[in-house]
């Protein structure tokens, strides 16, 4: 009895010392605003997935909004079509949001390449074009010859099958950085993205004024492109190479299928004019991915009802959410997509044991970072119904979860199919909920890694079994270097 009392007293003393240390560090952080692992574990996530001005910067953002708008207006004038409509207003926020992060401001937010001459809208034609002969069809706006003064575009080009969601986000963000540096308007062609997201600050949707044809598919590493064609480049297994892209400056549009990223790599190790210009924006390695993605997209209003009840539980005054993402091989999605009634105890136990190191890590982080009286819940996202049921049954009251059927976005390929639209929205709702966690215990998956980068929480990531030391979490900048140059 006496020994037990001593142990309990020791634990209580340790908890009080930890709390005292945290309070002291937070007080120190008000004087010297430096993000630390201790500080970050108590900072709530950004609410409503908004763009935080102090963290991401406004100079580069406002400069690019003006550039993009001028290019789209000039292109619309050249093709005699109305300019694209501005992005719709943001949806109303969910009830009772928590306060956002109090982050340090970037040290420098110089406008990007301010010495470059801004693009001016092309003058309207002095007389209407002559109609084509009766025997020939009228040319499509996207295949008509481009005027010499046509503005320039960079297009992420992935219509048809939606592909992997994490790979898609990495490709979009990195390609936007190239458009930012090369002073091009940015366009996204992706059948599934509009199901769940809408434009935030710029209208990236394609329209008849965006030139897409005639195109020529090739590889910029060892290929050349005819001057009268639009390059269409497949970078599925390659990172973006700024030096190679610089060779394509003369083309009015460049279409790119996929890429393996480059953002963190350029910001931390890049050399040359474009790398210097990217750093001059004030975007910093731990935050650049999340800032750019929040600049480009925001969730559609149809997504909020899918998340609202869980967001409310995640925002409790004494509730801390640890995001746990367990991705078994992609075949599990098809093999395990069965009704819960057909799952037996044996299959549940087998699923739980196969990756028990994930929950071991979550509990270790919880014990050290969030002692009582805080209440810790696990936001569990997994592609296995067996695993989800096993965790729920073995840890009652601990798990926050959606009731969505697991999907891989590569399954979707029938444009506009109602089942696919709903499936994609549910997958995005899972991703957004995961991104709202305070701490991430995740596997090697683009889905969870991009959610962690989108969260803008730079010191709260663990990747067991390789890395789960509660005293030394990952830094997002290191994370980006490891994963496809994210």
Taking only the tens place, the pLDDT of each residue in 233-276 is: 888 777 778 888 888 888 889 999 878 788 878 888 888 888 89
Q: Per residue in 403-412, is it b (16+ CB within 10 Å) or e — as a string? A: eeebbbbebb
Tell me the torsion sign for CA atoms 173, 175, 181, 186.
Answer: negative
Is 368 within 8 Å of 470 (Cβ atoms)?
Answer: yes
User: What is d(CA 182, CA 228) in angstroms, rounded to the nearest whole number?
Assistant: 20
- pTM beyond 0.85, yes or no: no
Q: What is the pLDDT of residue 79?
A: 74
Closest CA to 310 of 414, 162, 437: 437
Q: What is the pLDDT of residue 179?
A: 95
Q: What is the pLDDT of residue 164?
A: 84
User: What is d(CA 412, CA 397) in angstroms, rounded to the nearest whole number?
Assistant: 34
Is 200 within 8 Å of 294 (Cβ atoms)?
Answer: yes
Q: How far apart are the two ends of the chain, measured CA to CA in Å?
A: 54
**pLDDT tens sequence across 374-411:** 889 999 999 888 788 888 888 999 999 998 888 777 77
Q: What is the pLDDT of residue 364?
A: 93
Q: What is the pLDDT of residue 348?
A: 60
Label the pairing between strands 297-299 and 197-199.
antiparallel
Closest CA to 434 of 356, 365, 382: 382
Residues of the chain falling short of pLDDT 70:
1-48, 80-86, 88-150, 219-224, 329-354, 413-414, 475-486
Does residue 225 sit in helix, strand or coil?
coil
Closest CA to 55 of 18, 13, 99, 101: 101
Tokens standing for 315? 């925002």
Q: Per residue in 323-353, is it b (16+ CB within 10 Å) or e — as a string? A: bbbbbbeeebbeebeeeeeebeeebbeebbe
DSSP 8-class letter at 467 = B
Give CA separation, 20 vs 30, 33, 38, 281, 308, in Å. 16, 19, 12, 38, 35
Tokens standing for 251? 């083309």
Q: What is the pLDDT of residue 5?
A: 40
Q: What is the pLDDT of residue 481?
A: 62
User: What is d(CA 114, CA 127) in angstroms, rounded to the nearest whole number?
Assistant: 35
Q: What is the pLDDT of residue 312?
A: 86
Q: What is the pLDDT of residue 61?
A: 96
Q: What is the pLDDT of residue 217?
A: 81
Q: What is the pLDDT of residue 92?
A: 57
């Amino acid at each position: 009895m006496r020994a037990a009392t001593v142990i309990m007293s020791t634990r209580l003393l340790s908890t009080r010392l930890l709390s005292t240390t945290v309070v002291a560090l937070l007080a120190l952080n008000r004087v010297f605003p430096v993000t630390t692992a201790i500080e970050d574990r108590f900072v709530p996530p950004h609410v409503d997935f908004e763009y935080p001005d102090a963290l991401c910067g406004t100079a580069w953002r406002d400069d690019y909004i003006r550039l993009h708008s001028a290019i789209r207006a000039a292109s619309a004038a050249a093709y005699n079509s109305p300019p694209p409509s501005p992005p719709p207003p943001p949806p109303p926020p969910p009830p009772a949001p928590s306060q956002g992060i109090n982050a340090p401001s970037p040290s420098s937010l110089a406008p990007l390449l301010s010495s470059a001459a801004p693009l001016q809208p092309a003058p309207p034609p002095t007389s209407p074009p002559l109609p084509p002969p009766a025997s020939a069809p009228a040319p499509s706006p996207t295949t008509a010859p481009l005027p010499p003064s046509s503005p320039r575009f960079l297009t992420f080009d992935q219509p048809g099958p939606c592909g992997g969601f994490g790979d898609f986000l990495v490709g979009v963000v990195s390609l936007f950085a190239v458009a930012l540096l090369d002073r091009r308007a940015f366009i996204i062609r992706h059948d599934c993205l509009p199901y769940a997201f809408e434009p935030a600050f710029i209208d990236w949707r394609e329209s008849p004024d965006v030139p897409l044809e005639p195109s020529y598919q090739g590889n910029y590493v060892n290929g050349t492109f005819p001057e009268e064609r639009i390059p269409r480049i497949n970078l599925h297994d390659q990172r973006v190479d700024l030096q190679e892209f610089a060779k394509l400056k003369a083309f009015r549009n460049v279409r790119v299928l996929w890429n393996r990223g480059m953002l963190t790599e350029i910001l931390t190790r890049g050399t040359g004019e474009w790398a210097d210009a990217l750093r001059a924006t004030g975007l910093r390695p731990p935050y650049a991915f999340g800032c750019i993605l929040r600049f480009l997209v925001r969730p559609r209003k149809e997504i909020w009802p899918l998340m609202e009840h869980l967001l409310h539980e995640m925002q409790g005054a004494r509730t801390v959410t640890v995001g746990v993402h367990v991705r078994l091989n992609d075949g599990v999605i098809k093999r395990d997509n069965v009704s819960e009634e057909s799952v037996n105890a044996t299959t549940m136990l087998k699923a739980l044991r196969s990756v028990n190191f994930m929950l071991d890590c979550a509990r270790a982080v919880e014990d050290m970072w969030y002692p009582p009286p805080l209440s810790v819940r696990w936001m569990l996202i997994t592609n296995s119904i067996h695993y989800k049921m096993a965790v729920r049954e073995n840890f009652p009251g601990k798990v926050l979860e959606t009731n969505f059927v697991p999907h891989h976005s590569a399954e979707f390929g029938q444009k506009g199919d109602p089942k696919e639209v709903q499936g994609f929205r549910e997958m995005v709702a899972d991703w957004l909920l995961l991104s709202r966690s305070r701490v991430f215990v995740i596997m090697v998956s683009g889905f969870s890694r991009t959610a962690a980068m989108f969260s803008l929480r730079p010191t709260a990531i663990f990747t067991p079994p390789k890395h789960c030391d509660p005293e030394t979490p990952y830094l997002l900048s290191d994370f980006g270097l490891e994963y496809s140059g994210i």
